[in-house]
Amino acid sequence: MSAEREMLTTSLRDQLDVRQGEDAYLVLRRATVLDPVAGIDSVHDVVVRDGKIAALASPGEADADGAEVIEAEGLHAFPAFFDPHVHLRTPGHEHKEDVETGTRAAAAGGYCGILAMANTQPPVSTAADVSALREQARAGASVPVGFLATVSKDMQGTELTEMVELREAGAVGFSDDGLPITDAGLMRRALQYQRLCGGNIALHEEDPRLSGEGAMHEGPVSAVLGVAGIPSVSESTMVARDAALAGYENARIHVQHLSAAESVEIVRAAKAAGVQISAEASPHHLCLTDEEVRSLDPHRFKMNPPLREERDRQALIEGLRDGTVECIATDHAPHQPEEKDVPFEQAAMGVTGLETAFAALHTELVLAGVIDLGLLVERMGGGAEPFDLPRPTLAPGSEANVVLCDLGAEWTVGEDGYESRSANSWCAGRTLTGRVLVTVAAGQVAFRLRSFSLGVAA
């Protein structure tokens, strides 16, 4: 394999795996089309045909002969979203999620592509593991899925996986997510090997000695609750280490689920110094702080990295604005009730997020006037490029990846259940404004909201 970065191909369907169905022929009549990266912000008839955005026609003027027409006046069409950080729990924990349920959840959230983490049971550490998962995705994934492989064999943190073979088998990149790579020597070798095999390396940044037995952010709230804290420096010192290593090796890294203000500052400085570093932030870190943990509710508020303080949340938002954080990633982490119906410190870490990410951020950040809609849409699609995948766009001729939303619709999370197999949503019970009605992923209709009545063929 070439040492050069692979050329970007133009479709997620070519690069990832998805169940092949029928290409949609749709006209979204008079939709408000917003694609900030392509510079589109106007009302159009969006024509989806043969897997592509066939046209953005003048409102009311698209020829809809034989097409399904959706009256979309007052509704918004965006490039569908891309989530580079999802736990599909397969193999090994299919009782929490599998490829089918996880991609259905993604489709319901408006995503046209996701990347699945490798911390399964067993971890995705061999070419055969990757091939088996890709096969499952071709059989049952509603949206294109890419699979990461682990950096270290079985996530033991001691030996590298066969990175070249994993890439040849189709691993999109590498990550030991769930665990940090504590051994700086191993980390360095993985970065050196990247020159041979390509593929970004996504990093869960945490120093386990600083995190200790911590179950929440270390600060005044943890002091009050008597729950051991995970200090911000547990994350930021590792981000600093890996930014330095990536710079030294001229390698590329992607920092996952940024949570601390100090980490944002380090990523910003590394970018300014020319390091190839990208970063993601999760909706829950962008919307919540450790004040929520006063409730000691593990279902909604226990995750790793933990919810931090308002200053951290503000730093993440500033990172979104200035591009230090180029993408929003849910870290969708399904768990079953028995792992959450226990005292906070004993509960499993993680919350689900695919089905609520857009609506939550629209409600908490856009409607609250913190960021504008265009920036949210841009960052919701920013997770593809760090992994050499095409950013979803509505530019005519590109692969059809479209989400149709009703930005005025209010809904209460969980009242109609979830597409995910698990219910540990951090938004459970919240009323959100903005709802995904239809998702088109790789040219196919991946999701339609049941209660949204579709128009008839014209």
The residues binding other proteins (CB under 8 A) are 218-229, 231, 296, 298, 338, 341-346
Pick the catalytic residue from 17, 98, 312, 331. Answer: 331
Question: Rounded to the nearest whole angstrom, what is the least distance from the CB of residue 218 to other proteins in the complex?
Answer: 6
Question: Rounded to the nearest whole angstrom, what is the least distance from the CB of residue 134 to other proteins in the complex?
Answer: 37
Which residues, 6+ apart, have CB-to-CB distance to 264 below 8 Å? 258, 279, 315, 316, 318, 319, 324, 325
- Residue 259: closest CA among 206, 185, 207: 206
Question: Rounded to the nearest whole angstrom, what is the least distance from the CB of residue 423 to other proteins in the complex?
Answer: 16
The rounded distance, in Å, linking the Cα atoms of 333 and 230 is 19
Residues in a beta bridge with 146: 115
Look up 331 and say whether it is catalytic.
yes
Give the pairing type, strands 145-149 and 111-116: parallel
**For other proteins, which is the closer residue by CB, 84 or 214?**
214
CB contact at 8 A, 291 and 221: yes
The rounded distance, in Å, linking the Cα atoms of 86 and 117 is 6
CB contact at 8 A, 408 and 435: no
**For other proteins, which is the closer residue by CB, 346 or 412?**
346
Question: Rounded to the nearest whole angstrom, what is the least distance from the CB of residue 262 to other proteins in the complex?
Answer: 15
The rounded distance, in Å, linking the Cα atoms of 309 and 261 is 9
Residue 368: exposure state from Cβ atoms within 10 A (0-12, 13-18, ≥19)? exposed
Q: What is the DSSP string of 330-355?
A: --B----HHHHSS-GGGSPP--B-TT
CB contact at 8 A, 194 and 169: no
**For other proteins, which is the closer residue by CB, 81 or 344?**
344
**For other proteins, which is the closer residue by CB, 57 or 225?**
225
Question: Rounded to the nearest whole angstrom, what is the least distance from the CB of residue 217 to other proteins in the complex?
Answer: 10
CB contact at 8 A, 64 and 384: no
**For other proteins, which is the closer residue by CB, 250 or 346?**
346
Give the pairing type, strands 431-441 and 402-412: antiparallel
**For other proteins, which is the closer residue by CB, 220 or 397?**
220
Question: Rounded to the nearest whole angstrom, what is the least distance from the CB of residue 275 to other proteins in the complex?
Answer: 31
Indicate if the alpha-carbon torsion angle 61, 64, 70, 75 is positive or negative: negative
Active site residues: 331
